[in-house]
Structure formats: structure tokens, C-alpha cells
Structure 1
């Protein structure tokens, strides 16, 4: 007799999510180098842009001021690069047959992706905390009230959570591991087409419009504003640059609204 695991699950979402969460965290605990690898590229960007290019980009200004401007963008860079790590984990589970075994069990279909998303968000939070410590060492300081700082941290972790769900969706939608790996440069290109490293005002008009409507730019601008390292916004800048906090949370809501239901449905689909 075949058990209908989707209609009559005997294991609820919370229990399944807890099991998957523990399994994913254990992977990082037994292989701590994975966390170091996730920080390698952002750390390289801090050195490259903060110290190699920083003096040129800052011009006559104090290079340390540019590093303070740079660090919120690096935090978003850490969160964004975690997207491909999450996608890789979801794809590896799919390729190894683990996902199919989960599908065969009488568990709530939302449990597995929820547990994976929570684990990847927590790992991302550890990476972000480490990068904040590095930022402090290179001169980044917070100059904002406690309430705004708390909102900035909430925004950063919410963005990482949204990207965890998007990564899960990509990992199970793109079944070919090589194709998924080829998508990584595209993600990095999207990151570069933003205000992570430089203001958008000097960009050509079309490129500037794309950059200012880029969700990454909204999150970066919001963090700079909330952490107290923001700069004046040009009068002709796009709406997200004038209202970055609202725009950032709006983009997060859109990503979650698209990724969560589709990812849950895909996990419940028998293939």
C-alpha cells in the first residue's frame, strides 16, 4: 500500500525542520573550513577595494572613511554569496537521492526546505558576525542609535533568509550540477552591478537605473543609512535609493513570496 505523504503526513513541519536543521549544521560543524571558504572572497574584496583601490576611489577623502562606506556592502556580499552555497547544498541532496528519500517519508513537505533554510540562515549569521568583526578591525564603526542598529541587523539576516529560500529553489530547479556552477558568475555579476563598492551616481544612465533598482543596492543603501555611514542621495536617484529601508524589506518580501511556495511545492513533487 502506498502512503500519501502529502495528504496524511505523520511527521509535522516543525519536527522535520528540526531534523534537517541539525543535519545541515552538523555538516558545517564537522567541516569548519566550509565557513572559512565562504569568507575568503569577501575578505579578499575588503583588502582589494579597501586598501589597494581604496585610496584612488576615496580621492582626497580619508581612505578609512571609504572603508566604513564599503563594509555594509561587504556584509551584503557575504549574504549574497551564500545564495550559491545554499543552492549547492540543495542540489547535492537532490543528486545523491536524499531528497527523493525525504519525499518517500510520511513528513510534511514544507519541513525539509524549512529546516535547510533555517540552517543556512544561521550559518550565514555566523559568517556575517565574523565579517563584522573584521570590519571593526579595518576601521568600520557604527554611528547610529541602538534601534536603527537592531533594524539593520534584522534586515541583514532577513535578506540572508530570503536568499536561503531562493538558493533552495535554484538548487532543486537546476538539476544539472555543472549548469548550477555556471550560474555562480551570473550571481556575482549581479552583485557587482550595484552600489556595493561605489556610488551609482557616476554610472551611465542605463547602468545606473539597473543598479539602483537592483535589490542588492536597496539592502546596501538601507544598511549604510541604518548603521550611520550613509551619504547624500542625488535628487535624480531612483525611488529605492531615496527610501532604501522600505525598498529593501519590500524586495525581501517579494523574494520570499515567490521562493517559499515554489520551493515547498518542488520538494513535494515526485520525480
Structure 2
């Protein structure tokens, strides 16, 4: 078999082809982006306005919405994981991935194109959600450098979750079983500091929430964008050093998922009924 280095033009051409195919699917099905935004936007309205006064307590409800918005942005990025997993799973089971494998292309090119496309569409969703947050009263209190760092963190988070989604879709080949994982993923996201401070949670749940990678990314985003809210003095390390913790979590996620994806795409075979 011909070996192609990942730095060769063929690698970039194949990656660009896979990238363009995913974007074409979104262009012809704009409802996919709307579905990605529907749940987070609903959460923003529900928790920001319906429950906002109660959750804010004696504080200003508008301040709570500013506290909430960075968490909802992370939620938007995280919600794309299941869509990415479904896309990867469908490609593998339909035999499309096998057709790519029949070409003299590196195994990395197809999942890399998918991950980049999902990151771009996730970025568009994040821009729209930021506009919704601004309309709800969210304001950024940060320097240009901090804003750039926050945007980079969100995109890297979406990129890492894209690889996690591809990994999930490749490992769980049964489509129905894959669909059943969506509530579990959403539950793991909810056990975090997206909506409320971990300080209000009971012991074991608080420990889980504070070590949840989602919580670290949310805390880092709030710190970088100057969102209101203090981290408890006795909080776990990921919340006390959220930017560093986020970098560690995301690096670990890529280090685990990328090799698994490469093995799966290197040995993938379509499952026909």
C-alpha cells in the first residue's frame, strides 16, 4: 500500500474534500444549525428569565444572566457532540468511509475534515448565541487579549469535542445504541456549574461537578470575559485554576480520542443489514 505523509498535498486535499462535504450538508439542511441552537436558547430563556429571579436570590437578575451566558456558550459547543457522533456513525455504516479508505489517502484526513467542519459550524452557532446573550443583557468586561483567548478556548473546546464525537460514533456502531447515549451526555453536561455555582451542591455531587471538564471550561470563560460570580475559596483545583485546567482537559481529550479514531478509521468496514 502506498504510504502518504500527513504533510503531503494529498492529505490537505482529502481533508478539504471531507470538510467541504460536511459544510455542504449544513448548507442544504440549515435546520441542523437551528436544532443545535434550540435547546441552549431555550435554556437561556428558561433559566435566565423564568427562573432567573429565583436563582439570582437577592442579586440582580440581569447579573445572573451575565453569569449564565458563558455557561450557555459552552453548552452550545457541547451540544454538537451528539450531532458529530451521528454523522461519523452514518458515514461508517453506509460504507462511505470505506470508499475513502479505498483511496491512497492517510486515515487522518477524513476525520480531520469532519472535525474542522464541525468546529466551523459550531463557531457560527456560538456567534448567534452570543447575540442572543447580548440581547438578554450580557456584556463583556475584558481586554482584547482576554476576548481572543476566550474565543480560542471555545473553538478548541468544540474541536476537542468534535474528535470525541467522531470517536463515539466510530466505537458505537449501532445507531440506536448511539442515540441512547445522548441523554447521558446531556446529563453529564448538566452536572456542572453552567447554571449555578457548585458551592450550593451537596458533597459528592459538588466534587463531581467541580472535576467535570465542562465546569473548568465554563469557569475559564467566565474568568476571561469578566462575568460576575466568585469561585468558592474551597473549590477544587480545576475551578481555582480554570484556564490551566481547561488546557489540561482538552489536551488529554485529544490525546485519547485521536488515536482511537485513527485505529477505527483504519480498520472500518461497513455493516450491512
Which TM-score bucket, shorter chain as reference?
over 0.9
Match of 2:150 among 143, 152, 156: 152
- Provide the residue aligned with 1:228 in structure 2: 226
Which runs of 5 or more structure 2 residues have no equivalent in the other structure?
none
User: Residues 42 and 78 of structure 1 are in contact (CA less than 8 Å); yes or no, is this contact kept in structure 2?
Assistant: yes
Cα distance, 1:63 vs. partner? Answer: 0.5
Cα distance, 1:228 vs. partner? Answer: 0.2
- What is the distance in 2 between the residues matched to 1:34 and 1:57? 31
Whether 1:127 and 2:133 are equivalent positions in the alignment is no
User: Normalising by the residue count of structure 1, what TM-score does the alignment of the two structures yield?
Assistant: 0.96
- Provide the residue aligned with 1:142 in structure 2: 140
- Provide the residue aligned with 1:265 in structure 2: 263
- What is the distance in 2 between the residues matched to 1:230 and 1:191? 21
Match of 1:92 among 90, 93, 114: 90
1:227-248 per-position Cα deviation (integer Å, ceiling 9, x unaligned): 0014222221100111001001
Q: How does 1:56-75 map to 2 (within 5 A)?
A: 56-75=54-73
Q: How does 1:5-84 map to 2 (within 5 A)?
A: 7=3, 12-84=10-82
- Provide the residue aligned with 2:209 in structure 1: 211
Cα distance, 1:8 vs. partner? Answer: 5.3
SS in 1 for 2:199: coil
- What is the distance in 2 between the residues matched to 1:174 and 1:232? 40
- Provide the residue aligned with 2:106 in structure 1: 108
- What is the distance in 1 between the residues matched to 2:171 and 2:99? 17
- What is the distance in 2 between the residues matched to 1:168 and 1:108? 16
Match of 1:247 among 233, 245, 248: 245
SS in 2 for 1:167: helix
- What is the distance in 2 between the residues matched to 1:159 and 1:11? 27
Which runs of 5 or more structure 1 residues have no equivalent in the other structure?
none
- Provide the residue aligned with 2:195 in structure 1: 197
- What is the distance in 1 between the residues matched to 2:138 and 2:4? 52
SS in 2 for 1:141: coil
